[in-house]
Amino acid sequence: MTYNQPLGGNEMPRFGGTPTMMRLPEAKTAEGLDACFIGVPIDIGASWRAGTRFGPRAIRSESCLLRPFNVATGAAPFASLQVADIGDVAINTFNLPDACRRIREAYVEILRHPVRPITLGGDHSITYPILQAIAAKHGPVALVHLDAHADVSDTMFGEKIAHGTTFRRAHEEALIHPELTFQIGLRGTGYSPDDFNWSRRQGFTVVPADDLWGKHLTTLIDSIRGKIGDVPTYFSFDIDALDPSVAPGTGTPEIGGLTTWQAMQLIRGCRGLNIIGCDVVEVSPSYDLSGNTALTAANLAFELLCVMPGVKYSV
């Protein structure tokens, strides 16, 4: 079998050619794919700075710098997985519930195929319909959730759907295993002094950012991996889990966040988990003048691909 390969820099300069994710071929559907990149360009679930509607495009554009091998880990994802960029979901920019319906339906369709989608957001409200589709296929999943915020509000401005209610909804609809839900990197000011305790009361594990400052995270993720075992797992990476120095281009930045190397340790430590889908969300290009938030997201999406089941490692 021949696997799709990213277009090489010696065939076409990296600033030329169609800016698909990692310069992979485009595919119209997920048929025949083991993993796929997919964009959900939306920002109307955001409560502070807007702009994540341009997130997928910016991440793809910066991803053109990426080369196909993960030298640090030895992962060679394109040697054993069929991967393509299947484009964007046609969301409804003016109506959030309808956008969520469209996302859910698009993922139900995608998941008819045995593919693991890597989603490029978009604000975090998109993870709710994605998890609906995921759970419809796999049942409740384990969740590794990197974020500055727990996103477990009941409503925002009276609305049930917004980027701060995602995991409340997911829990209510039993899309996730609460005891296998890990929220990592939480911090910042809150609406009540025990903001994170709602999560804890549901059985989620909360790891605030201030417990992680300056630390290596391999032990943490090893422990999480041990608890999850082979339960199907979704990985949701809100880019604001990272420190604003690393990821300025996001909607609700909070100081004191994770470093990129901590993020890479967490993702790399997921090797062995049965990740059945994942996302990198909340990249807002209009606040990312250097482009480096999008570049970071592109790298993290690649690292997620590298820990998908079935990836060949040379080391």
Annotated binding residues for Mn(2+): 124, 147, 149, 151, 238, 240
CA atoms within 13 A on the CB side of 266: 26
Instruction: Specify the residue for token string 């032990």.
Output: 219
Distance CA 261, CA 241 (A): 12
Sole window of 103-111, 219-227, 256-264, 274-282 interacting with its own copies (rule: CB under 8 A): 256-264
Q: Name the residue nearer to its own copies (CB basis): 228 or 237.
A: 237
Work out whether 16 is an interface residue with its own copies (CB under 8 A). Answer: yes
Instruction: Specify the residue for token string 């999406």.
Output: 301
Supply the angle between the helices 260-268 and 292-306 in degrees, to the nearest 10.
20
Q: Which residues are annotated as a binding site?
A: 124, 147, 149, 151, 238, 240
Q: Which of 31, 109, 203, 216 binds its own copies (CB under 8 A)?
A: 216
Q: Name the residue nearer to its own copies (CB basis): 18 or 223.
A: 18
242-260 as b/e, with b when 16 or more CB fall inside 10 Å? bbbebbbbbbbbbeebbbe
Distance between alpha carbon 293 and the CA centroid of its chain, in Å? 14
Number of residues near its own copies (by CB under 8 A): 105
Smallest separation (angstroms) from its own copies to the CB of 201: 15
Of residues 271-300, which lie at the interface with its own copies (CB under 8 A)? 286-292, 295-296, 299
Q: Name the residue nearer to its own copies (CB basis): 34 or 303.
A: 303
164-180 as b/e, with b when 16 or more CB fall inside 10 Å? bbbbbbbbeeebbbbeb
Sole window of 107-115, 188-196, 221-229, 273-281 interacting with its own copies (rule: CB under 8 A): 188-196
Which positions ≥6 away from 272 have C-beta within 8 Å?
225, 307
Which positions ≥6 away from 2 have C-beta within 8 Å?
none
Q: Which two tokens stand for residue 310?
A: 């079935």
Smallest separation (angstroms) from its own copies to the CB of 211: 9
Q: Name the residue nearer to its own copies (CB basis): 92 or 274.
A: 92
Work out whether 89 is an interface residue with its own copies (CB under 8 A). Answer: yes
Q: Which of 208, 225, 271, 309 binds its own copies (CB under 8 A)?
A: 208
Work out whether 25 is an interface residue with its own copies (CB under 8 A). Answer: no
